[in-house]
Chain A
Amino acid sequence: QQPVQSPQAVILREGEDAVINCSSSKALYSVHWYRQKHGEAPVFLMILLKGGEQKGHEKISASFNEKKQQSSLYLTASQLSYSGTYFCGTQSNFGNEKLTFGTGTRLTIIP
């Protein structure tokens, strides 16, 4: 079953913070985050694993709440380059289960 992402779209001014949520109805083993700019391929941001720590690089980080079966992506002091559609992909079981993606969150950063 497809994870649910919220919000579906958000518009921010440069320098503002954003949070994107990804929720699943199934227990999660891993969560992937990708960003896709218009007309380009999705690009990997990070993977979070069950029992693992919060991850991040630069001003983009993410958390994984196993009890709530959800992950959140945090973008702080957003830059114009952060604009794009963010997808979370979830895997419910350890092993060879397919990665199921949400419908995406469109983030627009304006000057």
Chain B
Amino acid sequence: KAGVTQTPRYLIKTRGQQVTLSCSPISGHRSVSWYQQTPGQGLQFLFEYFSETQRNKGNFPGRFSGRQFSNSRSEMNVSTLELGDSALYLCASSWGDRDYNSPLHFGNGTRLTVT
């Protein structure tokens, strides 16, 4: 069974540009969550999608947005990039049951560097 796939693995962008990251969940998983990981801050929750609907949202500015398609694949977009957006962006999928008993399965992440 294939794991969570994130593309691309690495990205280098310039301030002011925008970027789109992609995530393909494990087959059958309907929930996709996005996290930003930076040194010292741990895993900061961005948003979660379930069946194409945003179910939860973290405390990030509106420049960060996402969507989920009917096949559960998800994309995350960051517009008007800032230096502080440099981070590892992790996607995690799960069955998405209501009581959150199912574990998260993480992808290897996309390393975004903003110069």
Using a CB–CB cutoff of 8 Å, the interface residues on chain A facing chain B are 2, 29-30, 32, 34, 40-44, 47, 49, 87, 89, 91, 94-104
* Shortest distance from the beta carbon of B98 to any chain A beta carbon, whole Å: 6
Q: Is the CB of B90 within 8 A of A42?
A: yes
* Shortest distance from the beta carbon of A3 to any chain B beta carbon, whole Å: 9
Q: Is the CB of B100 within 8 A of A91?
A: yes
Q: Is the CB of A98 within 8 A of B103?
A: no
**Total B residues in contact with A, Cβ cutoff 8 Å:** 27
> What residues of B have a CB within 8 angstroms of the CB of A101 in the complex?
35, 42-45
Which B residues, 19 to 49, have Cβ-Cβ distances below 8 Å to chain A? Answer: 33, 35, 40-45, 48
Q: Is the CB of B55 within 8 A of A96?
A: yes
Cβ-closest chain B residue relative to A94: B99
Q: Is the CB of A47 within 8 A of B108?
A: no
Q: Is B107 an interface residue (CB 8 A)?
A: yes
Partner of A47, one of B44, B98, B101, B106: B101
* Shortest distance from the beta carbon of A99 to any chain B beta carbon, whole Å: 7
Q: Is B56 an interface residue (CB 8 A)?
A: yes
> What residues of A have a CB within 8 angstroms of the CB of B103 in the complex?
32, 44, 47
